[in-house]
Structures are given as structure tokens and as C-alpha cells.
């Protein structure tokens, strides 16, 4: 053991020396350059004696550069000798169009000997990415590309992480290798892999995406007058996309077009969700639903963690603790009250022949991932020893869909409305090399024993209701020569081993980071098959680039701490504004450890401005349902009232994200890209593009310092005008049941006139329009309405609102039946003198002026589907 340890130390010393001299490697020379219709190709020939830093340098590469659109350049470097692994089209579909030209808004420039390249803006010739002085290295298990950036560069992305939203340029290493990461520790690799970053400058924003699912380190380092960004990748190819911008919203939309526009979620999915790991039986679940009702807190969806399973086996329910007839009764009761039900589904299938029918059926179809010798690969998860479905196996999708059809059958099983995926990195409790999984499972007490007696069989519910194989040249996939910064000692720790073989010949070493996304996609298809035509609501833990086109994401097993409350904002901004997964949120009040009343109250208000709003905690934590403390209950009611009144504004924003990629949550610099003060702010954010959320973020205080850009804002609750001056403002006496929310000037907000207990009831509430003019006296907005549940909408309705010169114009198109819904009023904010006269389509209308609030309120009874003009003088 001692000799082995010393050899590792010696190897590390050698690697460090090599790394220090890596910029002296020869790189490549570009030869045989030939033009293509919208780009060029070239050979890259090793320019001198090989460095062989972490393996033999590959002597000849092939370079291709394509101007795919006027705002996107695609650069690809591959081994000229033959194919290497690259992300399959089935996982990340490539854009179908390639109609760009050399007159693109960004330009690819290069030097032949030694080869280096740069990306520049056409209009300003500003350099965005530049590898000069940093030789390209391309080896079997090590790829290296390095670029120089401006001093103190503003880099965002490269997740998943709990670092600050703006990554520190000084000494940051972002490791991308998906893992089970309880406690989501700062600075480590977490559950998801998104090798994309936005760089923002006062002159513009651009994006860089490396389509590679292998493990990697991306290093940011600062020197006296520059920043560098360096990719260190342990396999695959170099497959870069460069996005021109020039604005942050432009880059977001360009990446969405590349990675896939986000899926639309059902309207009900935006309601409040409740879950806990540790509900002991069906009575616990039913009692929580009843308690929310008694407390008057709107609960949209009840969830159940793995507690419902028999011996933690997927696609089972415990007949004593969660008997099927009682589970069906709970679901029926929820549905009768327009509420919903979701359970967890894990990928790991327990090896319990005869007990787990899902295992028996999968074994018969031979759909498990394999060891190199062809045997089923085993791990340890909650059921004990497990196998994992191989999503590349041609039989697996049908197998998975059939398990959903059987167990979640509306007539005979648990009729879930959505599904929650966990442990899909895939996670294992086995530490490499895990020589005897069966003995290890026993030592870890998996599956856990139930310690409480089951409910009586006569207990009553307390709810009062009516691809092609790719060649590789890897020498060691279990211990690659370059060690990325994975928290665990080995890549195979706590997960499927990296030498596992998939049905198409690919190995886990290459496809590990896409396992969770493949499960998510297959699960969405299974949900759609059991409820054809309805939008699936799927929340997952592990994602890869493009996952938002299928599913939503929660931020994993956080802790009940103020620090995790704060970093949840940056986490959401990463997924919603950079990675294009808009349906995202943290475990409100925290998952691990014990929350406090004040923390849970604050988090309940912040959570109401998460796209995905769920209270969830662990089995060893105290109970934290919102009704447990009077202050938390009131905080939740206050915040849900705001959320639900705004829900159609937010639903419209989600629809725009689906159609055009506009992010539903935005950092302040997205809206104020030239205001350098906003570049590092990640404790405030925009909900939609016009609602500024500025939560209290410190413990046991009732004040907060917030930044208000040089613009007009209005307090959401009292409509008071606040003139931002591009400076910090101190807010005081903020109750624990409150959260500072502002309307940005320049918007017309369609709001429901009041909240409701369910989103179904909410959709029957009338609207009011709130006009919040900007400093030019103008405002605009929109409203999108559909049935809220269908994938393909037969009829929709859209309204656009424009305001200027004291005139509001409402234009409506579409044929979706809005019934008797009306606009009940129009509120014009910031009115300094009482209007003398208001007309609706030329007819005098009633107006009331609040001199203190400076708000003019015009009473209406105008059908929601109508177009009209309102003028005042």
C-alpha cells in the first residue's frame, strides 16, 4: 500500500511538471485548407516532437469550420485516423439548418503555423476567443484548448455548481462529472453537466458551447493584465459552437435554438408542491393535504418520496404502509379537488427475482448495462443490490413505457400526474472497486428497515373530500492519466463504473454525463404514452445540455442554511438564463438538516418566485410544511397570493421561452447590460422580464440593501413610484412574511384580480391591467392563454398591450374560448394629477384617482377576448 501511494505521489509530481510546461508543446500546423460552401476544412499536422503530456499526441487531425447561421460558428476537430466518441444525435440533435455565410456577425480567423484561432466581432473586430500562444493538445484521453480573455472577465455558466453566478476569474476550476452531491458543496462537481458559458462585456455578450459529454476541468485563471480559460477534457472530440450575441438575450435565444427550445409545462405545474422524504405511511400523506387545507394555504400538488415503495423497489408500493387501495383513494380525492399527485421513480432496479416484477421483465429483455465480460453491472442503491437500464438498448424505451403503463395505470394503479426522477447520475452507494455488492448492501442496511408500525387496515383517510458504435483508443478508463477534479477519489466511485458497456458499444466513460438526460427523455416519452396529448410534468436531478427541451430540474439535496438559501438564486439563474431549463427551483426551506422558523418564512416567500415551487426535506429533519409555524403560513399565503395573481404573466413568459428562448428568470445585467454594477449581482433577479425580486438574504434581520438601476420602478404592493439612480438602496422593517417585489417601468401587467386555492380555480378569476410607464411614459405587455395542459393546442388566444400618449391599446387575436372572463379594471401608475376624462372606445368611463398612491383606477367590464382602446386626459 505504501509503495502504491508513493507511486501515485511521484505520478502527480510528473503531471505537475508536465502541466507547467504545457504551453511549450508544439501544437499543430494547418495544411490542405479547402473552402466549403459556408466555411472551410483543413488538416492539422503535429508541428514538432510530441509532448505526450497524458498520452501519445495524435499526429494528424481534421478541422472543419462552418458558419451555420449569421450568429453561430461551428468548429470541429477530430482524429483523422478514424472515429472517436462524440455525443450521439439521439441525445443532442444537431441543428438541421446551415445557411450562414462568411459575412457572419462573428468571424473565425486563424494562423496556420503553429495553428491557433480567434473569434472576433465583425462590426468592431473585437476578439472574443483567442488561442494564440496556447498550443492545441489532442491525445486519446486528454484534449486541451486555452483562450485568453480580458482582465477580470465576466464568465457565467459551466454548471451545475453552487459557486457565485459570476464565476471568479482568479482561481476557479469547474469540474464537469455528474455525481450524487448531498449538501451541494460549493466549488465541487454536482449533478449536471452544462459545458456552456456566456461572457459579458459592456460592449456585448457572446456564448461558447463545447459539445462534449466526457469528464472535464474548465479552469479560469487571472494574471496581471488578462484572464485565461482552459479546457482539460478526458475524451471525445472538440466540438465547439460560438454564439455572436451581441446582447445577453440574443445569446440566450441563440443557445436555445442550438440546444433545443424549452418544453412547455402544464399550467398546474406552476402551483405549490409539497413533499418529504420520511412520510411514514399513506395517513401521513393524507394528513399533510388536510392540514394545508385547514391552514388555508393553496396546495396544488402532493408528492411522495421513495417511502411509498416496497423495500425501496421501483414500480412497487408497500402493501402495509402504502396499500394500493388507499393510494388510489388519495389520488381520487386530490383529483376531485383539482389537485395533483406525483411520486418518485429511480433508475436503479433492485435485483429481487420474483419480488420485483420490473426486474424480472427487464432481465427477460436483457436491458441492463453490462460489465466488460457481458454480465449485468451491479451497484447499490436504496433497494440494495441493483442494476440500471441501458437507455441505448433498443428495447429499453418500450420496457420503461410498459412499466409506467402497468404501475401507473389510472384504472388499476396509482394515477400520477407527473413524475420525479432522482439518483440518475446514476448514483450508487458503492465505493470503487465494490468487490462484493451483496455484502456491502447488507453492511449499509439497504434497503432500510421500517421502524414504525403500519397503519391499521381500518384507518380512514383524514381528507374531507367529495446510435452507431464509436471507436476509442483509451488505455485506461478506470484511472485516466489526467485526473479531473472529481470530489470522489475515482470516477467510478458512487456511480456506475466507467468501463461499463452499453448495447451500442459505447462505454460509460464517455456517456456517464448524459445518463440522467437520457432517462429524463425516456421517462417523458413514457408519461406521454400513458396520457397521450397531455404535457408531461417531469422533474429530474441530473441533466446535460439540452435537457430543458424535455424536463424541469430541481437543484438537488441542499441544506437548511442561509447560505444555501442565498446560493439557490444563482443556481436558478444558471439553469433558467444560461442552460435553458426554465422549470427550476430549490428545495424550499432546505432538504438536509433542520430549518428554522425565520429561514423557512423567508424561503417560502423566495420560493414563490422560483419557476418550480416545492417544499421538500429529508427524513432526519424536523417537519417543515408551511403550516407548522404561524409566521411561515402567513408568509406562504402572502407570497402565493402574489405568485398566483402574476401566474398568467409568468405562464406567458414560459410560453415565450418555449417559442423563442427568452429566459423566464434573468439576472439584472440581462436587462441593464451596460451597467457594470449589475454584473456580479446574484441576490436579486427578474421574474419574467419586468418583476424585480429582492429578497432579504441574511439571518434574523428585517432590512436589506438592494441595487436599483437607473430606471423607474413601482412597489408591487402599494404601487409607489421609486426612481432608481444606479445605486444601492437600504430597505428597512421588512416583515418575515414579506418580500420586496418591484415592477419595472415600461410594462403592462395582466394580473388576476385575486388568488385562489388551486390553479383550476385561478383560471376562473377575472383580470386587471396594471400600466407601469417608463420615464418616456410608455409601456407594453402581452398575455398568452391556452388550455394549460395540451402539447398541441388547437386554439389559443393572445393579447398585446401598448401604452403611450395616455392611450392604452389592447389587441386580441385567437379563438381559445375564455368564457365569461373579463378585464375588471385598468390601473395607471405614477399619475401625478387626476385625469379629467377617460374614454373606453370613445365612451366615457368611470375613473377613481388615489392622490396618495398616484394611481388612476378605471373600472371596466370588458370581455377578455375583446380589443379596445382606453384614453385619458
Active-site annotation, residues = 422, 425, 557
Q: 298 — phi, psi (to 5°)? A: -60, 115
What's the start-to-end Cα distance of the chain, in Å?
Answer: 87
The Cα–Cα gap between 36 and 161 comes to 39
Alpha helices in 260-395 (DSSP H): 282-295, 324-336, 357-365
SS3 862: strand
The Cα–Cα gap between 549 and 551 comes to 6
Query: In 10 A of CB 21, how many CB atoms?
Result: 11
The Cα–Cα gap between 250 and 728 comes to 28
The Cα–Cα gap between 638 and 846 comes to 30
Residue 613 burial (C-beta neighbours within 10 Å; 0-12, 13-18, 19+): buried
Taking each helix axis as running N to C, give the angle between helix 282-295 and helix 324-336, from 0 to 180 degrees, rounded to the nearest 10. 20
The Cα–Cα gap between 765 and 754 comes to 7
Q: Which residues of 786-809 are buried (b: 16+ CB within 10 A; e: fewer)?
A: bebbeeeeeeebbbebebeeeebb
Check residue 576 and report its DSSP letter: I
Alpha-carbon dihedral sign for residues 276, 277, 280, 285: positive
Hey, what's the cell of 783?
Answer: 398575455
Give the H/E segment covering residue 541.
Answer: none
The Cα–Cα gap between 471 and 341 comes to 45
**33 has which bridge partners?**
none
Are 648 and 750 in contact by the 8 Å Cβ rule? The answer is yes
**220 has which bridge partners?**
172, 229
Hey, what's the cell of 323?
Answer: 396499500
DSSP of 192-228: -BEEEEEEEETTEEEEEEE---S-EEEEEEE-SS-EE
Give the H/E segment covering residue 565.
Answer: helix 562-573
Are 500 and 180 in contact by the 8 Å Cβ rule? The answer is no
**427 has which bridge partners?**
495
The Cα–Cα gap between 377 and 492 comes to 12
CA angle 64, 67, 72 (to 5 degrees): 115
DSSP of 396-424: HHHHHHHHHHHHT-TTTS---SEEEE-ST
The Cα–Cα gap between 675 and 248 comes to 13
Taking each helix axis as running N to C, give the angle between helix 562-573 and helix 597-607, from 0 to 180 degrees, rounded to the nearest 10. 10
Half-sphere exposure of residue 584, counting CA atoms within 13 Å on the CB side? 32
- The candidate with the shortest Cα–Cα distance to 690, out of 738, 656, 733, 737, is 656
The Cα–Cα gap between 159 and 542 comes to 11
Check residue 395 and report its DSSP letter: T
Amino acid at each position: 500500500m505504501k509503495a502504491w501511494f508513493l507511486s501515485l505521489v511521484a505520478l502527480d509530481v510528473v503531471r505537475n511538471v508536465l502541466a507547467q510546461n504545457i504551453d511549450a508543446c508544439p501544437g499543430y500546423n494547418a495544411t490542405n485548407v479547402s473552402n466549403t460552401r459556408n466555411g472551410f476544412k483543413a488538416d492539422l499536422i503535429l508541428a514538432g516532437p510530441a509532448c505526450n503530456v497524458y498520452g501519445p499526441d495524435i499526429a494528424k487531425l481534421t478541422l472543419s469550420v462552418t458558419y451555420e447561421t449569421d450568429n453561430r460558428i461551428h468548429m470541429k476537430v477530430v482524429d483523422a485516423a478514424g472515429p472517436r466518441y462524440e455525443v450521439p444525435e439521439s441525445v443532442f440533435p444537431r441543428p438541421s439548418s446551415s445557411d450562414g455565410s462568411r459575412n457572419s456577425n462573428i468571424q473565425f480567423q486563424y494562423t496556420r503555423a503553429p495553428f491557433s484561432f480567434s473569434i472576433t466581432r465583425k462590426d468592431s473586430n473585437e476578439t472574443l476567443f483567442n488561442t494564440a500562444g496556447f498550443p492545441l493538445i489532442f491525445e486519446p484521453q486528454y484534449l486541451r484548448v486555452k483562450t485568453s480573455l480580458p482582465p477580470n472577465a465576466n464568465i457565467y455558466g459551466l454548471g451545475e455548481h453552487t459557486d457565485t453566478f459570476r464565476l471568479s476569474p482568479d482561481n476557479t476550476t469547474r469540474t464537469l462529472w455528474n455525481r450524487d452531491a448531498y449538501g451541494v458543496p460549493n466549488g465541487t462537481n454536482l449533478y449536471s453537466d452544462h459545458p456552456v458559458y456566456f461572457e459579458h462585456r459592456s460592449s456585448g455578450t457572446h456564448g461558447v458551447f463545447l459539445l462534449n459529454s466526457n469528464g472535464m476541468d474548465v479552469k479560469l485563471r487571472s494574471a496581471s493584465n488578462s484572464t485565461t480559460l482552459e479546457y482539460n477534457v478526458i475524451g471525445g472530440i472538440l466540438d465547439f459552437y460560438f454564439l455572436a450575441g451581441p446582447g445577453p438575450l440574443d445569446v440566450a435565444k441563440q443557445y436555445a435554438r442550438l440546444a433545443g427550445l424549452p418544453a412547455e409545462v402544464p399550467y398546474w405545474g406552476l402551483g405549490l408542491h409539497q413533499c418529504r422524504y420520511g412520510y411514514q405511511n399513506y395517513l401521513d400523506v393524507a394528513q399533510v393535504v388536510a392540514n394545508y387545507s385547514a391552514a388555508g394555504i393553496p396546495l396544488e400538488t402532493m408528492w411522495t418520496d421513495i417511502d411509498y415503495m416496497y423495500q425501496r423497489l421501483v414500480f412497487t408500493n408497500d402493501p402495509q404502509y402504502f396499500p394500493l387501495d388507499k393510494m388510489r383513494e388519495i389520488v381520487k380525492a386530490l383529483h376531485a379537488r383539482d389537485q395533483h399527485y406525483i411520486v418518485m421513480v429511480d433508475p436503479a432496479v433492485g435485483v429481487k427475482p420474483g419480488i420485483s416484477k420490473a426486474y424480472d421483465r427487464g432481465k427477460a429483455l436483457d436491458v441492463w448495462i453490462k460489465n466488460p465480460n457481458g454480465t449485468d453491472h451491479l451497484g447499490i442503491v436504496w433497494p440494495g443490490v441493483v442494476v440500471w437500464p441501458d437507455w441505448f438498448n433498443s428495447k429499453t424505451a418500450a420496457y420503461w413505457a410498459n412499466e409506467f403503463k402497468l404501475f401507473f395505470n389510472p384504472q388499476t394503479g396509482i394515477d400520477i400526474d407527473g413524475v420525479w426522477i432522482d439518483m440518475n447520475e446514476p448514483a450508487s452507494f458503492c465505493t470503487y472497486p465494490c468487490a462484493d455488492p451483496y455484502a456491502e448492501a447488507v453492511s449499509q442496511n439497504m434497503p432500510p428497515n421500517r421502524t414504525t408500525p403500519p397503519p391499521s387496515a381500518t384507518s380512514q383517510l383524514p381528507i374531507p373530500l367529495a446510435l452507431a458504435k464509436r471507436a476509442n483508443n483509451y488505455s485506461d478508463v478506470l484511472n485516466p492519466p489526467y485526473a479531473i477534479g472529481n470530489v470522489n477519489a475515482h470516477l467510478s466511485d458512487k456511480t456506475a463504473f466507467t468501463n461499463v458497456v452499453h448495447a451500442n458499444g459505447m462505454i460509460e466513460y464517455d456517456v456517464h454525463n448524459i445518463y440522467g438526460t437520457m432517462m429524463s427523455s425516456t421517462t417523458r416519452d413514457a408519461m406521454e404514452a400513458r396520457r397521450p396529448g397531455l404535457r408531461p410534468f417531469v422533474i429530474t436531478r441530473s441533466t446535460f445540455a439540452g435537457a430543458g427541451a424535455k424536463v424541469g430540474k430541481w437543484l438537488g439535496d441542499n441544506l437548511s442554511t442561509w447560505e444555501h438559501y442565498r446560493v439557490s438564486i444563482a443556481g436558478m439563474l444558471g439553469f433558467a438564463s444560461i442552460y435553458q431549463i426554465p422549470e427550476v427551483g430549490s428545495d424550499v426551506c432546505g432538504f438536509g438538516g433542520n430549518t428554522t422558523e425565520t429561514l423557512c418564512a423567508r424561503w417560502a416567500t423566495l420560493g414563490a418566485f422560483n419557476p418550480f415551487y416545492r417544499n421538500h426535506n429529508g427524513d432526519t429533519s424536523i417537519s417543515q410544511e408551511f403550516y407548522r409555524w404561524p409566521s411561515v403560513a402567513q408568509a406562504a399565503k402572502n407570497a402565493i397570493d402574489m405568485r398566483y395573481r402574476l401566474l398568467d404573466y409568468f405562464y406567458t413568459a414560459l410560453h415565450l421561452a418555449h417559442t423563442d428562448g427568452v429566459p423566464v428568470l434573468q439576472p439584472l445585467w440581462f436587462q441593464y447590460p451596460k451597467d457594470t454594477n449589475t454584473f456580479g449581482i446574484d441576490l436579486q433577479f427578474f421574474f419574467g422580464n419586468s418583476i424585480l425580486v429582492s429578497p432579504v438574504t441574511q439571518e434574523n434581520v428585517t432590512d436589506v440593501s438592494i441595487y436599483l438601476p437607473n430606471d423607474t420602478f413601482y412597489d408591487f404592493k402599494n404601487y409607489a413610484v421609486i426612481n432608481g439612480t444606479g445605486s444601492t438602496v437600504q430597505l428597512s422593517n421588512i416583515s418575515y412574511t414579506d418580500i420586496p417585489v418591484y415592477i419595472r417601468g415600461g410594462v403592462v401587467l395582466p394580473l388576476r384580480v385575486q388568488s385562489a386555492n388551486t390553479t383550476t380555480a385561478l383560471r376562473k378569476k377575472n383580470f386587471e391591467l396594471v400600466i407601469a410607464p417608463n420615464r418616456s411614459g410608455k409601456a407594453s405587455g402581452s398575455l398568452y392563454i391556452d388550455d394549460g395542459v395540451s402539447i398541441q393546442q388547437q386554439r389559443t388566444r393572445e393579447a398585446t398591450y401598448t401604452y403611450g400618449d395616455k392611450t392604452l391599446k389592447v389587441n386580441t387575436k385567437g379563438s381559445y374560448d375564455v368564457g365569461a372572463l373579463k378585464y375588471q379594471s385598468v390601473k395607471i401608475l405614477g399619475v401625478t394629477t387626476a385625469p379629467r376624462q377617460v374614454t373606453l372606445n370613445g365612451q366615457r368611463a368611470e375613473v377613481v384617482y388615489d392622490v396618495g398612491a398616484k394611481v388612476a383606477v378605471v373600472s371596466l367590464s370588458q370581455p377578455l377576448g375583446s380589443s379596445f382602446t382606453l384614453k385619458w386626459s
